[in-house]
Amino acid sequence: MKKKALYNKVDKELLKKKLEQEGIERTTLSFYQYAHISNPKLFRDHFYLSLDEVGVLGRIYVSQEGVNGQISVPTHRVEELKAVMNSVDFLKGIRLNIAIDDDGKSFIKLKIKVRDKIVADGLDDSSFDVTKKGIHLTADKFNELTNSEDTIVIDMRNHYESEVGKFKMALTPDVETFREALPVVEKMLEDKKDKNIVMYCTGGIRCEKASAYYKHRGFKNVYQLDGGIIEYARQVEAQGLENKFIGKNFVFDERLGERISQDIISKCHQCGKACDEHTNCANDACHILFIQCEDCANTYANTCSVKCKDFTMLPEEKRESLKGQIEFNGTKFGKGRYKAHKKDETLQID
């Protein structure tokens, strides 16, 4: 009997075409669980086979500290997915955060990777108790507590996430990674240790670790939004509560965002027009994440600059020969800082 593959190595464009032709409704969801996994590689392979069996696509990280996943599943097989989850002791009854604004095309293949951590945080977990975390808040309790003058709301996400959507009253650190955010936020709050510190992120996983860390660092009243923005939006709609979140919730899949309110709080990085549509530069040698309106997408051929547009117009052989010799906005993996966008610089080739 042929052994089933544990990795999907089919060409990206073929996978996109297959998804388009699939013709079935899909549900996008996310989950995480901190747990002790003694053999992450063995668990990864078993988990891959189980999820592949029910048609799951997505990206999942596995480590000795647990799992963190964003996936899509055929809607008619959601119960089968739950059965797979319930077959794993530490995943029994796990909450699956269902996407708010979902077209079913969030992922094109299943990828499960073994990592040192399920979220890169740079922390020494042995130095504090990760189980002593902040108090979880439902949407109504979050709304109530954030009405108090003694409450400070902190966005634990990156600048390109909060740029398109955030809670009205939130402080938004200017950072590109969660690892970078932890010391920056601590510095911002160093003289406010007696205040109510309420943190939030996309689905809750970053706050799960951060809240325990800040309690260890002497913050007395630490809270976190249970289930993050995704669960908050679901509860607000279901219970008819005031929605304090404005704009879009950035997501790390093909959609790049799901609309929570009709407010547009950001601008096109190229012309300054009101816009909150993230995209990646069409020049694969750049690929920087940035915000671009439809007019600029036409003007710049879906690239971030004249330089990148010029590069995409070159013959493929020429582009290949120049790779690594030219620096673009995203060459060093920047995340859409407009000050780095030299959009009118032309391509210079010796």
Catalytic residue annotation:
201
Q: Using DSSP bridges, classify how beta strands 245-249 and 221-225 pair: parallel, antiparallel or unpaired.
A: unpaired
CA–CA separation, 123 vs 131, rounded Å?
14
> How is residue 215 written in tokens?
């309690």
Q: At 212, is the secondary structure helix, strand, or coil?
A: helix
Q: Using DSSP bridges, classify how beta strands 66-74 and 135-137 pair: parallel, antiparallel or unpaired.
A: unpaired
CA–CA separation, 16 vs 254, rounded Å?
11
Cα separations in angstroms, 120 against 27, 159, 279, 303: 27, 17, 24, 29
CA–CA separation, 280 vs 256, rounded Å?
10
DSSP label of 189: T
CA–CA separation, 15 vs 107, rounded Å?
10
Note whether 281 and 181 are within 8 A (CB). Answer: no
Closest CA to 313 of 348, 291, 283: 283
> How is residue 68 written in tokens?
């963190």
CA–CA separation, 77 vs 72, rounded Å?
10
CA–CA separation, 176 vs 16, rounded Å?
29
Instruction: Identify the burial level of 148 via C-beta atoms within 10 angstroms of its C-beta, where 0-12 means exposed, 13-18 middle and 19 or more buried.
Output: exposed
CA–CA separation, 267 vs 283, rounded Å?
22
Residue with tokens 């003007």: 299
